[in-house]
């Protein structure tokens, strides 16, 4: 098994996530919190995020489906989702959440639906990429000695 | 003071560490290196305690804190990183402190608890205002509480008001000598647990409402290093002897 190659792949995936704006510096904070006492902290928090956000998004889907649009309720759900996104550094999703909330404030239901579709897409892409990233890390195994990763 | 952007000046003849040591041997000038956070994985550089590192983009608040520490900081030579004003500093404030973190959002709760644990705090989590009140009914052994203000069932303001109410009632009885002042070997004249609001939207109105409901201050969430330090330093004195 070429661990160096896998680690390079993981590093490159990770760099891409930052370069393309999927993640922001809050994600560094998560990585900073990972240590011997919490060796899988980042993956645990990210897993928690996707579980939590899926639930919130299902609630939002339901609320959007109803005939009577409760913009207050939608805004509350979205505030929760935005909070979670901020906590893990999910930058693009965070921006889209803000756009959705603007539409709620304007009571613009079409705008809400459009931005929600975007949120769902971003969510799916981010999930795919992060899942690949963690899988690569797992395959590459623990780093025994401090290596200087590629920039 | 000398601030050097690491990316625009590449040292070839000597290492950054050796270069920096030329400054540490004299009192002035102080050297600060501005670094790109994307290079944080270059761990050797960032962990070199001889270097005063400030991450870009340069923010006024971070600059203020970094300069204060470098110019006046007593004996603590922890380097400044990413808004975290030297892990040593927050560690010396929070080590061993029992902190209650309250947030109905499980992701936020996990991240906030993780951050506080990193500095050595003993963290307990609560996912509602109601739970917070249960934990903070005196007597209890918590040293501080971080409370989310935007919670659906009972928001942080209401929870804080009720906690202050419980404290006031007990403090009355303490004054009238109706009740023992000692808890866990400590004599408590008057109960007042520091409660800091955690808020995603930091606006003036929120600040006033925080104070009105009896909170002691607020921090943004997720935590921002120097702000967290500033707020926590108001209640906790640095423990210079870290066990």
Using the Cβ of A84 and the Cβ atoms of chain B, whether some distance falls under 8 Å is answered with: yes
Q: Do B222 and A49 touch (CB under 8 A)?
A: no
Per-residue pLDDT for B19 more than 50? Answer: yes
What average pLDDT does chain A have? 91
How big, in percent rounded to 5, are the helix, strand and coil portions of chain A?
Answer: 75, 0, 25
Residue A137 binned pLDDT confidence (cut-offs 50, 70, 90): very high
**Nearest-CA distance from B131 to chain A in Å?**
19
**Site from B83, B87, B94, B111 to mutate, A interface, most A CB atoms within 10 angstroms:** B111
Give the closest-approach CA distance of B100 to chain A in angstroms: 18
Question: With an 8 Å Cβ cutoff, is B222 touching chain A?
Answer: yes
* Residues B214-224: tens digit of each pLDDT: 999 999 989 98
Share above pLDDT 70 across residues of chain B, in percent, rounded to a whole number: 72
Contact A84 B200 (CB under 8 A): no
Q: How confident is the model at residue A140 (pLDDT cuts 50, 70, 90)?
A: confident
**Residue B199: CA count within 13 A, CB half-sphere:** 20
DSSP-assigned beta bridge partners for residue B4: B33
CB pairs under 8 A between A and B: 71
Per-residue pLDDT of A70-94, as tens digits, reads 999 999 999 999 999 999 999 999 9
pLDDT of residue B152: 85
pLDDT, tens only, B138-197: 989 999 999 999 888 899 999 999 999 999 999 999 888 877 777 667 777 789 999 999
Q: What's the pLDDT tens digit per position in B221-240?
A: 899 888 898 899 888 877 65
Q: Which residues pair with B99 in a beta bridge?
A: B123, B144
**For residue B118, which residues of chain A lie inside 8 Å, CB to CB?**
32-33, 35
Q: Which pLDDT value is given to residue A151?
A: 43
Q: What is the pLDDT, as a whole number, of residue B224?
A: 86
Q: Determine whether the interchain pair B38/A151 forms a contact, defined as Cβ–Cβ distance below 8 Å.
A: yes
Q: A44 — contact with chain B (CB < 8 Å)?
A: yes
Q: Could you tell me the CA-to-CA distances from B131 to B82, B105, B122, B124 in Å, in that order?
A: 33, 14, 18, 11
Tell me whether A58 touches chain B (CB under 8 Å): no
Q: Name chain B contacts of A41, Cβ cutoff 8 Å.
A: 114
For chain A, say whether B42 makes contact (Cβ under 8 Å): yes
- Mean pLDDT highest for which of B64-73, B79-88, B94-103? B94-103
pTM of the model: 0.75
Task: Tell me the per-residue pLDDT of A91-105, one tens digit each, with 9 for 90 and over.
Answer: 999 999 999 999 999
Q: How far is CA B27 from the centre of its chain?
A: 29
Mean pLDDT score of chain B? 79
Tell me the average pLDDT across B39-46: 58
ipTM of the complex: 0.89
């Amino acid at each position: 098994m070429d661990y160096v190659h896998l680690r390079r792949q993981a590093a490159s995936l990770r760099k891409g996530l930052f370069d393309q704006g999927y993640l922001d510096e809050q994600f560094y904070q998560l990585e900073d919190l990972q240590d011997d006492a919490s060796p899988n902290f980042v993956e645990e928090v990210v897993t928690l995020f996707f579980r939590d956000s899926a639930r919130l998004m299902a609630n939002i889907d339901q609320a959007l489906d109803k005939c009577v649009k409760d913009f207050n309720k939608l805004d509350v759900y979205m505030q929760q989702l935005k909070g979670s996104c901020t906590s893990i550094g999910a930058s693009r999703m965070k921006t889209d959440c803000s756009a959705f909330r603007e539409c709620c404030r304007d009571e613009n239901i079409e705008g809400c639906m459009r931005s929600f579709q975007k949120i769902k897409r971003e969510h799916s892409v981010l999930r795919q990429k992060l899942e690949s990233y963690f899988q690569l890390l797992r395959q590459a195994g623990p780093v025994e000695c401090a290596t200087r990763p590629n920039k | 003071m000398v601030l050097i952007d690491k990316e625009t000046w590449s040292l070839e003849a000597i290492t950054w560490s050796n270069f920096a040591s030329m400054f540490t041997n004299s009192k002035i000038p102080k050297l600060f290196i501005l670094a790109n956070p994307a290079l944080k994985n270059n761990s050797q550089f960032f962990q070199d305690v001889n270097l005063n590192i400030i991450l870009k983009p340069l923010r006024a608040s971070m600059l203020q804190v970094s300069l204060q520490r470098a110019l006046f900081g007593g004996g603590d030579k922890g380097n400044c990183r990413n808004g975290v004003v030297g892990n040593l500093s927050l560690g010396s404030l929070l080590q061993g402190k029992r902190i209650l973190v309250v947030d109905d959002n499980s992701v936020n709760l996990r991240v906030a608890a993780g951050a506080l644990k990193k500095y050595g705090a003993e963290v307990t989590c609560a996912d509602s205002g109601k739970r917070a009140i249960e934990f903070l009914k005196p007597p209890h052994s918590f040293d501080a509480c971080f409370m989310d203000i935007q919670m659906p069932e009972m928001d942080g303001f209401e929870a804080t008001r009720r906690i202050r109410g419980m404290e006031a009632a007990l403090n009355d009885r303490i004054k009238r000598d109706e009740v023992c002042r000692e808890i866990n070997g400590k004599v408590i004249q008057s109960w007042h647990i520091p409660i800091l609001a955690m808020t995603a939207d930091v606006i003036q109105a929120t600040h006033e409402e925080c104070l009105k409901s009896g909170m002691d201050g607020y921090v943004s969430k997720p935590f921002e290093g120097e702000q967290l330090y500033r707020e926590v330093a108001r209640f906790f004195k640095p423990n210079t002897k870290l066990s």
